[in-house]
Amino acid sequence: MASGELLVTDYANGCGLPRDPGQVGFPPGDGFLASRLPTAALALGSVGALASAVDRLLVVRGQEPHRWSLDPERIAASFAGDRMMRIDGDPVPGFAPMSGFFAASDAWVRTHANYPHHRVRLLEALDLPEDSDAGLLSSRIGTLSAQEIEDRAADAGAVAARVRTEAEWTRHPQGIASGAGPIVRMDTTSGVTFTGPTPLTTDPLRPLAGLRVLDLTRVLAGPVAARALALLGAQVLRVDPPQLHEIDWQHRDTGQGKRSALLDLASADGADAVHALLATADVLVTGYRPGSLDRFGLHEGTSGLVHGSVSAWGNDGPWAHRRGFDSIVQAASGISLAEGGLHPGALPVQALDHASGYLLAAGIVDALALRAVDGRGRSVSVALARTARWLLDAPGRVADPAEPRVPGPAATATHGAVTSARPPLPSHPQYPYPAHDWGSDAPHWI
């Protein structure tokens, strides 16, 4: 580990995140991920947790731990993947016009409408025609209270949150539920133990070689976790429903090192194909709302399966089944007001997504290490709102931070028309291969 890092390895105390962000070993004044909240500490701590988990897996296998050296610039570039990416030399688009902060009649709200179906639902929730633009949306929001907008969005399956203070979120039932428990939850699953072959590899940089990961995630945190497993040598197959829109540049970033297939789990053929894949998978990663995939029985009867899952709000509380994204969690939890002033602000990157993704990957690696000892499968889960709670509670706030430094070109790599951030682990110069075209692979293991 880098000099000065004191990472917690007890999951009950934070799964690799430092007890004190001042301990994580960032060179003073480097300026990457500068913000009022200790975003840089969260970033380095989450990637450090993954490196620590890999070391524990190596020790279980009788190998020497790897001498990791974490680079703040590489980590910052990875967390800012959207800003580092270029396609044919051009930057990629950020948030859609209807995603952002809007002034309601009494407070601020934050909306998320990057996906067409979320845009349609948001307009329906606010009684607006489908051809409305951001200006009309803003005018309509200004006539309603922030709480009414939040409630309407939730009822319609749209995505919007009232911008709250930290104190408000601390008292809110979901804030209480989301802030409880470890930042990475792990439970041993019932059922038969794993009896399959144990992959044998002596490469400390690819300790997951020979393992199969089925990736049923979308957007950012879940895909980041599965991408990290691919970086460590796992064969990762991402499966998406063909009817849902995917943002191409986002897939180009988080799909690196993976294959990509399309299957409709709601159809008999699609469900059979996914269950066939699961029958010989080591890891299942899901990124849908808690309970939304239960009807498909994806983890039933699979011996020794490690199931990693990520959600916005966690498994408990009144919002457990509510949709959410990094920006929405920032708004609801008080982060937006902590980073802003009269106008709400945001973290310099989508740190909740990225950090939660690396923490989930760390938990999955630890679950695989435990499986090598006792043969048992495990469920591992993280929630963006729980990661937000750590960030809000951590010491090390800065009243007037400098503008974040932008990582240099050495932190990126180019393959064909696509330039993207290198992996956060400097021992890995690049991901195994560029992202395949979305849905271009056959749904089977190689």
For β-strands 235-240 and 212-216, DSSP reports them as parallel
- What's the start-to-end Cα distance of the chain, in Å? 34
d(CA 165, CA 333): 7
Beta strands in 196-257 (DSSP E): 212-216, 235-240
**Distant-in-sequence contacts of 346-349, Cβ < 8 A, 24+ apart:** 347/35, 347/37, 347/39, 348/33, 348/34, 348/35, 348/39, 348/80, 348/404, 349/33, 349/39, 349/43, 349/76, 349/79, 349/80, 349/83
For residue 417, how far is the Cα from the chain centroid? 25
- With beta carbons less than 8 A apart as the criterion, state whether 213 and 281 touch: yes
Checking if the pLDDT of 299 tops 70, the result is: no
What does the pLDDT average to over 281-293?
87
* Candidate from 114-118, 195-199, 272-276, 417-421 with smallest mean pLDDT: 195-199
d(CA 78, CA 378): 28
* Candidate from 75-84, 93-102, 181-190 with smallest mean pLDDT: 181-190
Residue pLDDT, tens place only, 181-205: 999 999 988 666 776 666 667 899 9
d(CA 228, CA 239): 17
For residue 36, how far is the Cα from the chain centroid? 22
Rounded to the nearest 5 percent, the helix, strand and coil shares of the chain are 35, 15, 50
Residue pLDDT, tens place only, 125-134: 999 999 999 9
pLDDT band at 122 (very low <50, low <70, confident <90, very high): very high
- With beta carbons less than 8 A apart as the criterion, state whether 345 and 336 touch: yes
d(CA 29, CA 405): 10
DSSP code of 217? -
Domains located in the chain, CATH noted: 11-92+182-421 (3.40.50.10540), 100-174 (3.30.1540.10)
Residue pLDDT, tens place only, 4-19: 232 333 333 334 444 4
**pTM, to two decimals:** 0.93
